[in-house]
Amino acid sequence: MVTSSDGTNGHPRKYASFPKKYRQYVKDDELLSLSQFIKQSSYATAKALKLPKRGLLKVGNFADIIAFNADKLKDNANFSNWNALSTGIETVIVNGVVTIEHGKYNKALAGKVITKY
């Protein structure tokens, strides 16, 4: 099983897919280990979508990294408040560029559209 989100406005999955999966399947139900959660949220997803050089921390790959506080990671979005940000995400690095520092977005735009051929 892999995790992804289509990013649709009006649905909490846009802001909470991964934190919800962590809370529900790792912390609450203990159905996944932390390493299984990370693999399914990165490597397995990149492999399923055939995205080269993504999903693994490896020389030559794109550096997409999320550092989170496991004790504070919480999905806050719901259908009434679908765009509520999750808490506990400390640092986000996209394509090697820090975009979130100390839980705050720094306005860096490092992502790029990925197309499939």
What whole-number distance in Å separates Cα of residue 111 and Cα of residue 40? 21
**57 within 8 A of 66, measured Cβ to Cβ:** no
What whole-number distance in Å separates Cα of residue 35 and Cα of residue 70? 12
pTM score, whole prediction:
0.86
> Is the residue at 57 inside a domain?
yes
Q: Which residue has the tokens 């999320």?
A: 66
- Phi, psi dihedral angles at 40 (to 5 degrees): -70, -25
| Per-residue model confidence as pLDDT tens for the chain (117 residues) | 787 777 789 999 999 999 999 999 999 999 999 999 999 999 998 999 889 999 999 999 999 999 999 999 999 999 999 999 999 999 999 999 999 999 999 999 999 887 764
> Is the residue at 116 inside a domain?
no
> Is the residue at 61 inside a domain?
yes
| The 104-105 sheet, strands edge to edge | 65-68, 89-94, 97-101, 104-105
Structural domains of the chain, count: 1
What whole-number distance in Å separates Cα of residue 62 and Cα of residue 111? 11
Compute CA 69 distance to the chain's CA centroid, rounded to the nearest angstrom. Answer: 13
Domain that holds residue 66: 13-105
Phi-psi region of 91 (alpha: psi -120 to 50; beta: other; left: phi over 0): beta
